[in-house]
Amino acid sequence: MDRRALVRLLQGNETSSMSALLVGGPAIARRYGNAVARRGGVVCLSSRAFPMPLLHRAIGFGTLAAADRATLDAVIRHYARLGLPARLELAEAVAPASVIKLLERAGFTRERALHHVHVLEADRPPAAPTVAGLTIQRVTARAAKDFGMATRVGFEVDGTPLGEFFDRASAAVVRAFPERFIALLPRIGGEIAGTGALWLSPRVAGLYTGSIFERFRGRGIQSALIAERIRIGYARRRRIFTSQTDGDNPSAHNLHDLGLRYLYTSSYYVKATA
């Protein structure tokens, strides 16, 4: 598939999954000041409680939408009306090279955060690693609270309610989108060892929330979760799979071992509220 077309499909999965997380539960959206809007074809995610790259950014400038000053100004105005910083996620070497100069002239500066985006175009699911004592639970609405609490572990930050947000929001997504959000709990000897989730969009399955609790790492659990999510997505007629990592780390290596490949880097540019 053409690289730009593939990136657009992956960003469609990213924007729909993030929209579900931020505003899929209306009470949660109100509690944390979350919103999602579209400006000039760019999807603008915002969070008053957490104006950080993970939850607060505009996706698609130069990929889903034109990389021109009119589109950029529409995004800037949107965040200015909210009284929040404007942040753009940029698909490096996919969006036009002129975008960076355009952003700099408009007062944006590059942040340190970045994500590597990986993809698999599958003709068959990979073989699943064998892990002693591992069972993988498919989470239903009845167990949504357990999934939320397990997700919280990976996002606990001292002095902030970020873990609380992911606890509440992840459980809400399990309940609100049972056909699109497949949540999994890996267990060793019955004890929860981490989390894994799959978000389905047209043609694409996104692998998200794939964390393993520290004391269970090194056993191949994350790789088994990757394989299981691809198997489920393949059974749902998805043949394109994507995931993101904070650079070239052990999670990226596990993804590559199961057939995914690096596609592009997402970087972030921010402009403070005037």
Q: How confident is the model at residue 66 (pLDDT cuts 50, 70, 90)?
A: very high
Give the integer Cα–Cα distance in Å for 181 and 134.
Answer: 22
Q: In the chain, what are the domain boundaries?
A: 3-115+265-271, 134-264
**Which residues does residue 269 pair with via DSSP β-bridges, in sequence order?**
88, 110
**pTM for this one?**
0.96
Characterize the bridge pairing of strands 42-47 and 58-59: antiparallel
Q: How confident is the model at residue 17 (pLDDT cuts 50, 70, 90)?
A: very high
pLDDT at 158 over 90: no
Within this chain, domains 3-115+265-271 and 134-264 share the same CATH topology: yes
Q: What is the pLDDT of residues 173-191, one digit of tens each?
A: 999 999 999 999 999 999 9
Joined tokens for residue 22:
């931020």
Whether residue 271 contacts residue 108, with contact meaning beta carbons closer than 8 Å, is answered with yes
Whether residue 16 contacts residue 272, with contact meaning beta carbons closer than 8 Å, is answered with no
* 134-264: CATH architecture: 3-Layer(aba) Sandwich (3.40)
Give the integer Cα–Cα distance in Å for 83 and 12.
Answer: 26
Q: Which residues, 6 or more positions from 54, have their beta carbon under 8 angstroms from its beta carbon? A: none
Q: What is the pLDDT of residues 214-254, one digit of tens each?
A: 999 999 999 999 999 999 999 999 999 999 999 999 999 99
Give the integer Cα–Cα distance in Å for 56 and 26.
Answer: 17
The three-state (H, E, C) secondary structure of the chain, written as one string: CCHHHHHHHHHHHHHHHHHHHHHCCHHHHHHHCEEEEEECCEEEEEECCCCCCCCCCEECECCCECCCHHHHHHHHHHHHHHCCCEEEEEECCCCCCCHHHHHHHCCCEEEEEEEEEEEEECCCCCCCCCCCCEEEEECCHHHHHHHHHHHHHCCCCCCCCHHHHHHHHHHHHHHHCCCCEEEEEEEECCEECECEEEEEECCEEEEECCCECHHHCCCCHHHHHHHHHHHHHHHCCCCEEEEEECCCCHHHHHHHHCCCEEEEEEEEEEECCC
Report CA 66 to chain centroid distance, whole Å.
23
Give the integer Cα–Cα distance in Å for 211 and 55.
Answer: 18
Give the integer Cα–Cα distance in Å for 211 and 206.
Answer: 14
Q: What is the structure's pLDDT at 237?
A: 97
Please give the CATH number for the structural domain made up of 3-115+265-271: 3.40.630
